[in-house]
Amino acid sequence: MKRDGIKIVTIGGGSSYTPELMEGFIKRYEECPIKEFWLVDVEEGKEKLEIVGQMAQRMWDASPYDVKVYLTLDRREALIDADFVTTQFRAGLLNARIKDERIPFSYGMLGQETNGAGGMMKAFRTVPVILDIVEDMKELCPDAWLINFTNPSGMITETVIKYGKWEKCIGLCNVPVNSMMKEPEMLSINGEELIYQFAGLNHFHWHKVFDKTGKDITEDIIDAMYTKDDGTPTNIFKVDFVREQLEQMKVIPCGYHRYYYLQDEMLKHGLEEYHGIGTRGEQVKKTEAELFELYKDPTLNYKPEQLTQRGGTYYSDAACECINAIYNNKNIPMVVSTKNNGALPDLDADSIIEVTSYLTAKGASPVAWGKLNSAEKGWLQVMKAMEECTIEAAITGDYGLALQAFLLNPQVMGGNIAKQVLDEMLVANEKYLPQFAKKIQELKEAGVKVKDEKVQRLIAEGY
């Protein structure tokens, strides 16, 4: 690792999240002296890249540090001799997310960015792209670390490590950080006095909490969850978990577990938005447009408060502290997606899990959790099987395996309806699914068409 200044490359640099990243690195500059920051995006994101890139440079110019922000649509140019590569891209941009949400909802099932049919379709689009990035890194920056924030983060991280054969990869999510920031406030305790232990999958983990004497206070937090803000991300509709379930579990589920433990309530809310104000992706599109109008202000040189509405709060604390820990061999605990290596014996050793780990210059060393109870073990193994089928289908273009993944996913109704949703989503995403090209052509010839009118318009407009 170079000690004369770090080169960081962010793929998906035109994201509205980028100011979070800048803020985090500015805060940590004395520990992580950055020499070059490269923001990379695709042609469709060129305008946003220029807007957010100019703002990023203003943020650095307002700091005491002399850092140059480079903007490019040429990923290979950016990757040369990079020390860290962060990924935060969305294949198909927000319009693809809207398709992922609206098509399942049109069949009366959950449409969500990383869960259910939408999450799997996002993986189908994203897996081939991340593997191309890894191949470029092998040639242009073979010693770099890949820090992944691209969703579905766990599946993308598993793709990089297991199929891309790139061991120097860590997956991140801001959801555990939300919990660790909010839960101490619930009990009026300093967070530094608490010991957290997380284990599970990305967007499907559980955690326990201990005080400074080692006493398990998980049940105290469960009790407080019903009267106080528990840190549920802003992008998840908050409805209370069934209390008796949590009291039996004696572990705290993550916010995304609502889509599984409270499927009926979450589906009803999602359908209300689908028929009313629009899906979460449609709402985010409006929020993002407002953010970019703010970013255009030539006097704005700090992260605006409105960014917290986007759902990525504490992103910088996760991404920047991860890089800081590796660069400075800090040996600190963080919740990351990494290789299991026995931490959860209910899964294979080479499975990628989201787990409390100690981060050093050699990467993440997971903290062993041990065997899960039957209910949590059952959920975990089904979800991991779904992830594995999704990844392999995304790589091979195997339609039968894609259907298997859909049928495994608890958010997808079984029978012919699963096939109908899969078929529509493949046709709607044709532009981003070359691995499924032959099957998509067959489906189109068989008369498969998207029924949702808003998605029809997006397709007609070339998205």
CA dihedral 402, 385, 160, 21 (to 10 degrees): 100
User: Please, what is the Cα angle at 417 between 416 and 422, to 5 degrees?
Assistant: 100
Question: What does the DSSP assignment read for 49-91?
Answer: HHHHHHHHHHHHHTSSS--EEEEES-HHHHHTT-SEEEE---T
Q: What are phi and psi of 459, to 5 degrees?
A: -65, -40
Among all residues, which ones are annotated catalytic?
256
Which among 310, 287, 296, 293 has a CA at the least distance from the CA of 58? Answer: 296
Contact 385, 366 (CB under 8 A): no
| Kind of pairing between the strands at 169-171 and 204-210 | unpaired
CA distance 16 to 191: 29
* Helix or strand (DSSP H, E) at 199: strand 195-201
CA distance 153 to 256: 14
CA distance 138 to 123: 22
Question: What does the DSSP assignment read for 300-339?
Answer: --S--GGGGGGT-TTHHHHHHHHHHHHHTT--EEEEEEEE
CA distance 420 to 451: 11
Q: Which residue has the tokens 């998605």?
A: 455
Residue 165 region, left (φ>0) first, then alpha (ψ -120 to 50), else beta? Answer: left
Q: Which residue has the tokens 């020390």?
A: 83
Q: Which residue has the tokens 């890249």?
A: 49
CA distance 82 to 206: 34
